[in-house]
Structure 1
Amino acid sequence: MATTLPPAVRAPTWPRVLWLAGAVLLVAMVVHVVALVLLGGPVSGPVSLRKPATFAETGWLLCWSVALVLPQLRTRAWQRHVVGATVLAFGFGETAIIGVQAWRGVPSHYNFATPLDTALMRGGAAGTAALFVVGMVVLLVATLRSRDAAPPLRLGVAAGVVVLLVGCAIGMVMISTNSGVYRGGIGSGFGRSGAYLGPDAAVVGPDLAGFRAATAGGDLVLPHAIGVHGLLLLAVPAVLLAGTTLRGRLAPVATMVAAVGVALAVLLVHAFRMLPLEALGTPALVALAACAGAYLAALGVTAPAVLRRA
Structure 2
Amino acid sequence: MVALLERREQQKTTTTGWHGPLTYGAAAMAVLAVVSGIGLLADGRTVMGEGVWLKPLKFAASFGLYAVTLAWMIAQVGRWRRTLWWLGTVTVAGFMTPEIGAIVFQAVRGVRSHFNFSTPLDETVFMVMGGAAYLGWLMTFALGVFLVLQRRVDRAMAWAVPLGLIVSLAGMSVGYLMTAPTAGQAQALADGLDLATIGAHSVGAPDGGAGMPITGWATGAGDLRVAHFVGLHALQVLPLVAIGLRLLARRWPVLVGAATRSALVIVVASGYAGLTGLLVWQAQRGQALVHPDGTTLLAAAGLAALVATGIGLVLMVSARRARTARSPR
CA positional deviation for 1:172: 1.2
Q: How far apart, in 1, do the equivalents of 2:47 and 2:304 lie?
A: 29
- Aligned partner of 1:253 in structure 2 is 265
1:86 paired with 2:87, answer: no
Is contact 2:30–2:64 with CA below 8 Å preserved after alignment? yes
1:97 aligns with 2:109: no
1:159–1:257 Cα contact (<8 Å) kept: yes
Once residues 34 and 236 of structure 1 are traced to their aligned partners in structure 2, the CA distance between those partners, rounded to angstroms, is 31
Change (3 A) 1:62 1:132: same
Flag the structure with more relative contact order, 1 or 2, with Cα contacts below 8 A and sequence separation at least 6. 1
Paired with 2:83 and 2:297, the residues of 1 have a C-alpha distance of 44
User: Shift in Å at residue 232 of structure 1?
Assistant: 1.5
Say which of 34, 39, 42 aligns to 1:35: 39
Alignment-mate amino acid for residue 284 of structure 1: T
The Cα of 1:288 is off from its aligned counterpart by: 4.0
Aligned to 2:276: 264
Q: Which amino acid aligns with 1:162?
A: I
Provide the C-alpha distance between the structure 1 equivalents of 2:172 and 2:193, rounded to a whole number of angstroms.
22
Query: Take 1:106 and 1:234, find their aligned partners in 2: how far apart are those partners?
Result: 36
Match of 1:114 in 2: 119
Equivalent residue runs for 1:221-300 within 5 Å? 221-238=225-242, 246=250, 247=256, 248-277=260-289, 280-282=292-294, 284-285=296-297, 288=300, 291=304
Residue 109 of structure 1 deviates from its aligned partner by 0.8
Cα shift readout 1:177-198 (whole Å, capped 9, x = no counterpart): 3xxxx76999x98998662345
Percent of aligned pairs with the same residue?
Answer: 27
Cα distance in 2 for partners of 1:184, 1:279 equals 24
Matched AA of 1:33? G
CA contact (8 A) 1:87 1:135 kept: no
TM-aligned CA distance change 1:200 to 1:129, over 3 Å: closer
Contact 1:220 1:268 in 2 (8 A): yes
The 1:189–1:262 alpha-carbon spacing in structure 2 relative to 1, beyond 3 Å, is farther
Report how far residue 199 of structure 1 moved.
Answer: 5.0
1:114 to partner: Cα distance? 2.1
SS at match of 1:35: helix
Q: How many residues align?
A: 287
- 1:155 deviates by 1.6
Instruction: Give, in angstroms, the shift of residue 8 of structure 1.
Output: 8.3
Computing the radius of gyration from Cα coordinates, the structure with the larger value is: 2
Q: Normalization by structure 2: what TM-score?
A: 0.72
Alignment partner, residue 57 of structure 2: 53
Unpaired stretches in structure 2, ≥5 consecutive residues:
251-255, 312-329
Deviates more, 1:54-63 or 1:33-42: 33-42
What is the RMSD computed on CA atoms of the aligned residues? Answer: 3.9
Unaligned runs of 5+ in 1: 299-310
